[in-house]
């Protein structure tokens, strides 16, 4: 069961913890990581189990985050600083609670959206008798092939959704910057135009004053 620790847990933190705890073996999670914050997750793993941690920052800042994975004895198995995405595979060396954390403490005002997929162990066989000594029937082999192909399709769809979300975030950010830049240019153009009008008026006003003095 995947558990979550957010340091200072408020009302929303407890609700999120309850939802994650109720979801049995929820290995794929997308969550918000505020600035100057750190989120930790815990998983009970049996010795000899093969595990894979894959993460990607979808939105926020430079799309980077710190990630660290620790064993039950506190030994650091994986640690990367300011990574946009990465994947790490390991085999549990002992029974216990494994902890992995995502940190945005280096950011002072930008929050991030982080996706991670934590796979524990191998998928159960499609058929109870799949590991038997005799060969599979043609129907069973076709089902296994289709099952593997569908898993690949799911993985590809997940990655495409992440790329689409990241691209949309960058496009919206660029659109916002262009809008602000356009507003700034419009204000500057308006100020320059008004300044030119007053400057031209001052030229004609000085000329008329000089002519009046000469005539008198």
Residue numbers of the domain that contains 59: 28-122
CA pair distance 118, 2, nearest whole angstrom: 9
CA pair distance 30, 35, nearest whole angstrom: 16
- Does residue 181 have a pLDDT over 90? yes
pLDDT confidence of 216, banded at 50, 70, 90? low
Q: What is the per-residue pLDDT for 18?
A: 36
CA pair distance 49, 64, nearest whole angstrom: 29
Q: How many domains does the chain have?
A: 1
Domain membership flag for residue 41: yes
CB 113 within 8 A of CB 30: yes
Domain membership flag for residue 127: no
CATH number of the domain within which 32 lies: 2.60.120.680
Domain membership flag for residue 80: yes
pLDDT confidence of 206, banded at 50, 70, 90? low
Question: 126 in helix, strand or coil?
Answer: coil
Domain membership flag for residue 147: no
- Does residue 159 have a pLDDT over 50? yes
Domain membership flag for residue 13: no
Domain membership flag for residue 36: yes
- Does residue 9 have a pLDDT over 70? no
Summarised one tens digit per residue, pLDDT across range 11-45 is 333 333 333 333 334 468 888 999 889 999 998 99
Domain membership flag for residue 77: yes
CA pair distance 17, 24, nearest whole angstrom: 12
pLDDT confidence of 8, banded at 50, 70, 90? very low
Domain membership flag for residue 91: yes
Q: Give the pLDDT mean for 7-13.
A: 40
pTM of the model as a whole: 0.65
CA pair distance 166, 171, nearest whole angstrom: 9
Nearest to 51 by CA among 112, 117, 105: 117
């Amino acid at each position: 069961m995947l558990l979550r620790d957010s340091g200072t847990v408020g009302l929303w933190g407890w609700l999120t913890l309850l939802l994650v705890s109720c979801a049995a073996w929820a290995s794929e999670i997308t969550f918000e990581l505020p600035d100057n914050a750190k989120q930790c997750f815990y998983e009970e793993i049996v010795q000899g189990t093969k595990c894979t941690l894959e993460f990607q920052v979808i939105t926020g800042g430079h799309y980077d985050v710190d990630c660290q994975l620790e064993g039950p004895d506190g030994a650091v198995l994986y640690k990367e600083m300011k990574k946009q995405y990465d994947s790490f595979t390991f085999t549990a060396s002992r029974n216990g609670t494994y902890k992995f954390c995502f940190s945005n403490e280096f950011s002072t005002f930008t929050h991030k959206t982080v996706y991670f997929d934590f796979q524990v162990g191998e998928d159960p066989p499609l058929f109870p008798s799949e590991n038997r000594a005799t060969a599979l029937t043609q129907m069973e082999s076709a089902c296994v092939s289709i099952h593997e192909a569908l898993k690949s399709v799911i993985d590809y769809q997940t990655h495409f959704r992440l790329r689409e979300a990241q691209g949309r975030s960058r496009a919206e950010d660029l659109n916002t910057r262009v809008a602000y830049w356009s507003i700034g240019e419009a204000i500057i153009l308006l100020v320059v135009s008004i300044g030119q009008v007053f400057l031209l008026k001052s030229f004609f006003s000085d000329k008329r004053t000089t002519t009046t003095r000469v005539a008198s």
